[in-house]
Structure 1
Amino acid sequence: MTLPDSRHSWWTHLGGTALICVVVGLLNYLMQGGSFGIAMLYSFAVGTQISLYIQLLMTGVTRALRLQRGDLPELRHGWIGWGWVAPCVLLGALAGYAGGLWLGDLISGRHAVRPWNMPQGRAALSVGFVLLVSVLGTFFFFVLFRLNALRLEQAQALRQAAEARLTLLQSQLEPHMLFNTLAHLRVLIKLRPDEAQRMLDRLIDYLRATLQASRATEHPLADEFERLSDYLALMQLRMGERLRVKLELPADLAGIAIPPLLLQPLVENAIKHGLEPHVDGGELRVTAARDGKQLVLEVADSGAGLVQATDLPGTGFGLSQVRERLAQRYGNAASFELRPQPGGGSVARIEIPS
C-alpha cells in the first residue's frame, strides 16, 4: 500500500503497514468477536501481503514507465497516475487477500471462510472493505512520501543557493586579492624597477595557479598553504627582510578539504595592516592544528596590532568575506575571531569541522 522512490520508503512502508494492520485487526475483533490473537494474525497476514504485492506492482510499473518516458519529475515523486495506480491496487489487494487468508490458515491451523463461500452481501462487504483500506493506505503513503520529497527538494534548493552564494563570494574575493597585489607592484615599479620585473614574473605564475585552483568549491589544505607560500614569496620581494614567514602544516592535516582562498584575506590583512605599517616589519605565522574534532587555522603577525589596524581603511572586506563564507559553508559549526596577540600584533583564528 505504498509507492516507490523514497529514500526510506521500505522502512516507512513496513512501519505504516504494521500500524494499519493493528487498526484493522482491532476493528475486526471489536465487530466480529472471537480471539484477539487470531484477528491480529489474519490482519497481519492479509495486510502485509497486500502491501507487498502493491509495492512490487507499482515499482515494476514505475520502472517500465521510466524506460519508456525517461526520469520525469512525477515518476521521481512516486505518482504514476490513477490510470496505473488503480489496477495495481486492485490486483495487489485481491492477490494479497487470497494469499493472506492462506498464510493465516497455515500458521493458525484454522480454515477461514473464503469470499466465494460467503453469502453474496457479506462477500461484497468483505472484498469492498479490503479494497477501501488498500486505496486509503496507498493514498496515505503517497501523501507521506510526497511531503518527504518536497522536504528533500527544499533541502537541495537551500544547498544549491548556499553553493551559489559561495561562488559569488569567491568571485568577489579573487579581484580583491588581485587588485591588492597590483597595488603593491605599482609602488615597487617606482622604487625598484628590477625587483618589480621579478615580482611581475612571479605574479604571473602565482595567478595562473591560484585562479585555476579557485574555480573549485574546495581543495586540500596542502594546496591552500602552497598558494599562500606563492603569495608570500611575492610579498617578500616587496618587503625584503622585513617580512619573515613561517608556515606550519602537519602532514596528517594536509588532505583536509577547505574552501579555496579561505586564509588569503587574513594573510593580506596581516601584511597590509599589521606588518607593513610596522617599521621593522615582523613575523607572519600561519599554522594548522587539530583540537578534538575541530580543525584550527591561525594567521598571526607580530606587527602593528589591532588598535592601529582598526583605524585604517579597507579592513572590512576581507574579514567579512571570511565570516560569510564560513557561515555559508559550515553554519554554526565554524567560528572566527580576530584578537590582539600578547607582546604585539594580532592573531586571526578559524575553527571548522575536520
Structure 2
Amino acid sequence: MLELSSTRRGLIVYLLVWLFLGVALGGVIWLASDTPLANAMLFSIPVNLEYAFATGYSAFYLCRAYPLGSRRPGQIALVLTVAALASGFLWLIIGNLWNALCLVPVVEWSGIVITPQLSVLIVVLGVLLYGFAAALHYLVIEFVRAKNAEQRELESLLMAQEAELRMLRTQIDPHFLFNSLNSISALTSQDPKAARRMTLELASFFRQSLGMEAHKKVTLGEEMVLIRHFLAIEQVRFGERLLVEEDIGEDAARCMVPPMIIQPLVENAVKHGICNMPEGGTVRISARRAGSILQISVSNPVDEDMASIRSEGHGIGLTNVRQRLAGAYKHEAGIHWGRKEKSFGVDITIPAQTSERGE
C-alpha cells in the first residue's frame, strides 16, 4: 500500500479500481434482490473503500514479512489464506455494522437486507480481493527490488568506468613526463635557455592538467590550452621543424570532451611523425560541430616507412583514447585512424555536449 500510494497517480489509480469494484458489488446486490439501486450503492461503495485501505496495509506488511523466496511456498500460502479469511469475515462484520447504522430511524434512507447468500458473497469476495491485493503488492515489491538492483548495477558500472578512466589517464601523464624530462636533460648542456623555457612550459602544462583532474569533462577550448603548452614544449626541442595549424570552430570550442583525450594524439603526431622526418612538418588540429556531432581531427606527415606508425608506443596511445571514448560515450563515439597519402590522420566523432551532464 505504501509503495502504491507513494505517488498521487498511484493512489488515484488504486482508489479508482476499488471504486469500480464497489460499484460492481452494488450492481450485484441491486440485480439479485429488490434493493433500490441507491441503497445498494450507498452500502457497497463506502464498505468497499474502507476494505481497500484495510487490505492494502494488511497485505503490504504481510508481504514484507513473508517475501517470496525467503520461506517455503506452502507456508506463505497458508499465512495469506488465513489472513484472507480473517479479512473476509471482518469485512462482513464491518458491512453489518454499517448497514445497522443506516437502519437507524434518524437516517432518512434505509439500508439493505443482508441475506445468507449475500454474506457468503461478501466473505468470498473479500478473500479474493485480499488475494488480489497480496499479488499486486508482491508484484510491486519485486519490481522495486529489480529496479533497485538495476540501479546498483548501474552505479557499480559507472564506478568501474571511472576507475578505468583514472587508470588510463595515469598511464598518459608518466609517459609524457618521461619524454619531456629526457628532452630537458638533452637540452641542459646544449641550450640552457631552451631547457629553462621547456621547464616552465612543462610546469604550466601540469598545472593546467591538475586543474582539469576534478572534472570528468572539460571544454575543447580548455583542452586546446593544454595542447598548446605541450606543443610549446616540443617546439623548444624541434624548433622550426615543428609547425602547428589549428582550425577550431567557435561552437566546437564550447563542446565538452574528456580531459587529455586529444593530447595523446598530438603527442603521437610529434613522436611518430615529425620526429622521424629530417625536414619536419606540420601538425594539423581541427574541430567542427555538425549538429549533435563533434568532429575532431589530428593529422601529421609521415615517412614512407610505415613501421614507425605501427610502433608499440603509437598503439598504446590510440588504444587508450579508444577505451576512454568507449567508457565515456559507449557506442555513441567513434575513432578511426589511417594513412592518407603522405600523412597519418586520426578522426574522432563524439556527441556534441555543452555541459558535463550531457545537455
TM-score after normalising by structure 1: 0.70
Distance 2:150 2:18 in 1: 25
Larger deviation: 315-324 or 304-313? 304-313
In structure 2, C-alpha distance between the alignment counterparts of 1:48 and 1:121, rounded to whole Å: 16
Cα distance, 1:213 vs. partner? Answer: 1.4
Residue type of the partner of 1:255? Answer: R
1:101-250 equivalences under 5 Å are 120-250=119-249
Using a 3 Å threshold, how does the CA distance of structure 1 residues 49 and 19 change in structure 2: closer, same or farther?
Answer: closer
User: Following TM superposition, by how much is the alpha carbon of 1:267 offset from its aligned partner in structure 2, in angstroms?
Assistant: 0.4
User: Which AA in structure 1 matches 2:346?
Assistant: A
Aligned residues of 2:273 and 2:302 also touching (Cα < 8 A): yes
- Counterpart in the other structure of 1:352: 350
Distance 1:33 1:287, change over 3 A: farther
Distance (Å, rounded) in 2 between the aligned partners of 1:218 and 1:55: 51
Instruction: Say yes or no: does 1:3 pair with 2:7.
Output: no
Query: Are positions 1:253 and 2:252 aligned together?
Result: yes
User: Paired residue for 1:294?
Assistant: 293
> How far 1:133 sits from its partner (Å)?
2.2
Structure 1 position 132, deviation (Å): 2.8
Q: Structure 2: where are the runs of 5+ without partners?
A: 67-82, 99-109, 353-359
Q: Percent sequence identity over matched residues? A: 24
Q: Tell me by how many angstroms 1:334 deviates.
A: 1.0
- Residues 1:52 and 1:123: Cα distance change in structure 2 (over 3 Å): closer
How big is the alpha-carbon RMSD for the aligned residues of Structure 1 and Structure 2? 4.5
CA distance, structure 1, for counterparts of residue 326 and residue 16 of structure 2: 43
Corresponding residue for residue 319 of structure 1: 318
Code of the residue aligned with 1:285 in structure 2: it is R
Shift of 1:260: 0.4
Tell me if structure 2 keeps the 8 A contact 1:214–1:261: no
- Per the alignment, do residues 148 and 282 of structure 1 end up closer, same or farther by CA in structure 2, a change over 3 Å counting? same
Deviations 1:108-148 (A, max 9, x none): xxx99697998544433333333332222222211222222
Q: Could you tell me which amino acid in structure 2 is paired with residue 211 of structure 1?
A: L
Is residue 305–residue 345 contact of structure 1 (8 Å, CA) maintained in 2?
no
Q: CA deviation at 1:17?
A: 8.7
8 Å contact from structure 2 (residues 287, 297) kept in 1: yes
Q: Render the CA deviation track for 1:268-310: whole Å, top value 9, x for unaligned.
A: 0000000111111111111111234211111111343671423
* 2:357 alignment counterpart: none
Alpha carbons of 1:313 and 1:150: their partners in 2 closer, same or farther (altered >3 Å)? closer
In 2, Cα distance between equivalents of 1:5 and 1:172: 51
Letter in 2 for 1:212: G
Report which stretch shifted further, 133-142 or 9-18: 9-18
> Of the two, which has the highest radius of gyration?
2
The C-alpha deviation readout for 1:45-90, integer Å capped at 9, x for no partner, is 89996898589979xx99xxxxxxxxxxxxxxxx9657xxx9xxx8
What secondary structure does 2:137 align onto?
Answer: helix
* 1: CA distance, partners of 2:212 / 2:120: 76
> AA paired with 2:3?
L
1:180-238 per-position Cα deviation (integer Å, ceiling 9, x unaligned) = 22222222224322211221122112212212313422111111011001111111111
- For 1:146 and 1:12, the matched residues in 2 are separated by 18
Distance across 1 between alignment mates of 2:4 and 2:163? 32
Shift of 1:254: 2.1
| 1:278 aligned residue | 277
**Which amino acid is the alignment partner of residue 175 of structure 2?**
H
